[in-house]
Amino acid sequence: MVGHDLFVAVEAIHLGKERVPELWTVESVTAVAGQGLEGDRHFHPEGAPAGQALTLVEAENVESAGLEPGGTRRQLTVRGVDLNALVGKRFRVGEVECVGVELCEPCSHLEAMTRPGIIKELVHRAGLNADIVVGGTIRVRDAVAAL
């Protein structure tokens, strides 16, 4: 899961508000089990549908697509992690325990916000949808590890 000399870590945390296209970057966020990230547009106080509590993307895939950090609109950008390998598996982001639910495939909304062709370019490389099993704080530079 780790590249030769890459540190497996959270590189950025991006949050957004409902109906506002801009995301902002934070140094830490509270992850609530079964609900999502506090303060984010996808926070579900009544309980998040399966796979909609947390989204992650590999920094390497964001860069290879020529997008800016946060350009895929995923909440966590991580480096040195094979997110596809975490589908169906438990993993930890800092003190937060998660389970990978499914790949977060690119959509027409992402294409409308970026450029034509991005869907084809990022198929199976646009990130991971996950559930939060044990909440806590996620911080930039937190380690990411399979359990």
Question: The pTM is what?
Answer: 0.90
Q: What is the pLDDT of residue 111?
A: 83
Q: What is the pLDDT of residue 4?
A: 40
Output the CA–CA distances (angstroms, integers) from residue 134 to 103, 114, 147, in the order listed: 21, 34, 13
Residue type, 104: C
Q: What is the pLDDT of residue 7?
A: 59
Q: What is the pLDDT of residue 34?
A: 97
Report the C-alpha gap between 31 and 66 in whole angstroms.
29
Report which of 96, 98, 110, 109 is spatially closest to residue 52, judged by C-alpha positions.
98
Below-70 pLDDT ranges, the chain:
1-7
Q: What is the pLDDT of residue 1?
A: 44
All domains in the chain, ordered by first residue: 9-146 (2.40.33.20)
